[in-house]
């Protein structure tokens, strides 16, 4: 006896109803976006120490400054997206209420994300004090480490891969 679709009912879990401007945290766009943010975080984690060690403040650094500024803008866009992304509540439910999402993000990763997207390279380009430059770089590197930890806590299936690359 075969249990075909005619006999056996098909069950599907429906996606929760969300307001039009709210992204589901597990949608394909958000998954791809998170990987882009992870790659840019790795780029920044490599470039910050490189810039401190080898870069001197000359006009030749404009292309690198532009790339780093674009990365900072993308990190800022990530902040905006996080204000519009669902999350899993303590009871395992998907929270899609915009007010609750905003408050949750403000109480959790907002400060770290905001500090991470500040253009420290722009500050360093105009500051000729070597100690200040190193302090900004150390701060931004620590913030990017925090972003990696955030990614690991939100995506536990990828945590081992992130830890290996560190």
Radius of gyration of the chain (CA): 21
Q: Does residue 112 belong to any structural domain of this protein?
A: yes
Q: Which domain holds residue 116?
A: 28-165
CA within 13 Å, CB half, 164: 4
Q: Does residue 9 belong to any structural domain of this protein?
A: no
* pLDDT score for 116: 79
* pLDDT score for 80: 97
- Does residue 90 carry a pLDDT above 80? yes
- Does residue 48 carry a pLDDT above 90? no
What total number of domains does the chain contain?
A: 1
Sign of CA pseudo-dihedral 7, 10, 11, 16 = negative
Q: Does residue 4 belong to any structural domain of this protein?
A: no
Task: Kindly indicate the confidence band of residue 99, based on its pLDDT and cuts at 50, 70 and 90.
Answer: very high
Q: Higher pLDDT residue, 71 or 11? A: 71
pLDDT average, residue stretch 80-89? 95
Q: Does residue 106 belong to any structural domain of this protein?
A: yes
* Cβ–Cβ < 8 Å for 31, 137: no
Can you read off the two tokens belonging to residue 7? 């006999």
pTM reported for the whole predicted model: 0.71
């Amino acid at each position: 006896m075969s249990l075909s679709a005619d006999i056996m009912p098909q069950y599907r879990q429906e996606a929760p109803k969300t307001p039009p401007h709210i992204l589901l945290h597990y949608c394909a766009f958000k998954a791809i976006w998170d990987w882009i943010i992870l790659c840019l975080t790795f780029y920044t984690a490599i470039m910050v120490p490189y810039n401190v060690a080898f870069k001197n403040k000359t006009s030749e650094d404009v292309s690198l400054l532009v790339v780093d500024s674009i990365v900072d803008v993308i990190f800022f866009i990530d902040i905006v997206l996080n204000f519009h992304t669902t999350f899993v509540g303590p009871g395992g439910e998907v929270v899609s209420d915009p007010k609750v999402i905003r408050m949750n993000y403000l109480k959790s990763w907002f400060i770290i994300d905001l500090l991470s997207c500040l253009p420290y390279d722009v500050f360093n380009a105009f500051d000729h004090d070597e100690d200040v430059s190193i302090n900004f770089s150390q701060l931004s590197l620590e913030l990017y480490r925090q972003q990696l930890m955030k990614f690991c806590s939100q995506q536990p299936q990828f945590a081992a891969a992130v830890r290996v690359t560190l």
